[in-house]
Amino acid sequence: MNYDVIVVGGGIGGLAFGALACARLGKKVLILEKNNAVGGRLYSFQREGFTLDIGAHVISQSEKGPLGPILQAVNKEGSISWKHVRPMTSYRGEMFAFPRGLEGRIPEGEYAALMSFFREIVLMNDAASHELDAVDLRTYAQSKGVHDPLALACINNVNMVYVCVPYQRASAGEFIRCLRNEAHSRASGYPEGGCGAISEAIASGIREKGGSLLTSTEVQQIIIENGRAVGVRTKNSEYRAPIIISNADGRRTLLDLLPKGILPQSDSVRIRKMSYSYSMLIVRMALKHPVTDLRLITHIADLDPERYEEKLLTGNFPREVNLFMPVPSNFSPECAPPGRQLLTAGIWIPFETPDLDKLKNIVVDTAYKILPDLKNAVMWEYVTTPGDLHAAVLENGAIIGLGQSIDQVGKQRLGVKTDIPGLYLCGAEAGGTGVGIELAIDSVFELIKEMGKNDAAWLKAIN
């Protein structure tokens, strides 16, 4: 069974590459996915008439970001309808829109410094932002005169939405690119029908363009012959192609899918030290009636992210926790039966966080505090733990993928090109920049540019 390209993994990165390769270049593409459906973190499922996402999502730039060209390539740009959002920040019983909502809540000089900080970011070019890749976000914000604890906590709050790494380790350069791009597009949003609608649309378009997708088909090994990647082995079959693209986590690809002895020991040691972003404990609540007309709430409970992380890791949880609370049915009424509402309460946590049953109760109690009418409206809850996410997407249940920390962005990140001819990486663990799925798609654009250095025909996929 021979193909032009085999893509290992049907997450958004694998789907994006497959879409461009078959639709723009007419390549014979095979995508192999270990789960029973494609999409990775962009997967939705049904429960008692509600549409639940596997994660907790808002798409940073929606159709105006990297996702737009992918949908256009497979003629599916009209198949997704978007609802956009301006997030509201919750703190001590009040709601406000950050950053302007901090006026009057922090000292005047701090507010001026904060607004100057954001103006500088919005105008910064890529070259200047990359000079800050190795500077952590907290240090950078403080260097710009932002010292107020609430202002810093709000910056970290936005940063956690973007990269899911606390700001004392998150790259300032990466944060800048994420915020700048989102500010320019002004299109943060959510797709009607749930996030799975995005993956389903792209997968459908790939099939219509002649591509092949096989689910429940886990790749067990990448075949190397004469020092070159030439195919893959699954439990029951072998597939051949001169180009292998792995969207199955670059770290896992190099450490687990290559035959023993292929990866140099020095590379193995370096790659094993790389870490993933935070995971999430997610409580979805099916409500018998609506309790809010807001679409997205981010709640701040603790003003010291470093101390907060220590509490999570030791199980010495505070009584109230930071939350990410999208309300999917306020974006897309189809996500809940008529008259009902679907609300998600998610807490970013390290994969190693203990005592999740106790933490889940604190998450729910915090949500009740934010929305007092919530408690009497809940019909049922559906909980997803970091372990559940790991079972679906591996990577310690990471919300993003490889952490966008000061030592894992830019030139320090895994590259899209490996040292093995014919083997490339894409997705949220190799190359790219941006928020979540946009990071994964940007990795694909970077990969195609890299492939175009040896074969200019590949550049037609993105031009």
At 251-283, the pLDDT tens digits run 999 999 999 999 999 999 999 999 999 999 999
Distance CA 166, CA 138 (A): 9
For the entire predicted model, the pTM comes to: 0.96
Do residues 39 and 29 make contact, with C-beta atoms less than 8 angstroms apart?
Answer: no
- The answer to whether residues 110 and 118 touch, using CB atoms and an 8 Å cutoff, is no
Strand partners, 44: 53
Structural contact between residues 329 and 296, judged by C-beta atoms closer than 8 angstroms: no
Task: Say what the pLDDT of residue 209 is.
Answer: 97
Query: How far apart are the C-alpha atoms of 445 and 260, rounded to whole Å?
Result: 30
Mean pLDDT of 91-96: 97
Asked whether the predicted pLDDT for residue 1 surpasses 90, the reply is: no
Distance CA 74, CA 201 (A): 9
Model confidence at 56: pLDDT above 90: no
Mean pLDDT of 102-116: 98
pLDDT of residue 2: 87
pLDDT digits (tens, 9 = 90+) for 224-260: 999 999 999 999 999 999 999 999 999 999 999 999 9
Is residue 379 helix, strand or coil? strand
Nearest CA among 10, 15, 24 for reference residue 463: 24
Q: What mean pLDDT is predicted for residues 204-219? A: 98
* Nearest Cα residue to 28 out of 52, 55, 4, 62: 4
Q: In 392-428, which positions are buried (b, 16+ CB within 10 angstroms) versus exposed (e)?
A: bbbbbbbbbbbbbbbebbbeebbbbbbebbbbbbbbb
DSSP per position, 224-240: EETTEEEEEEESS-EEE
Separation of alpha carbons 51 and 454, rounded Å: 44
The mean pLDDT of 56-62, rounded to a whole number, is: 93
Average pLDDT over residues 165-187: 97
- Which H or E run includes 104? none
Mean pLDDT of the chain: 97
What is d(CA 295, CA 328) in angstroms, rounded to the nearest whole number? 7
Measured CA to CA, the distance from residue 186 to residue 273 in angstroms comes to 36
User: Pairing relation of β-strands 296-299 and 323-326?
Assistant: antiparallel
The band of 359, judged by pLDDT with boundaries at 50, 70 and 90, is: very high
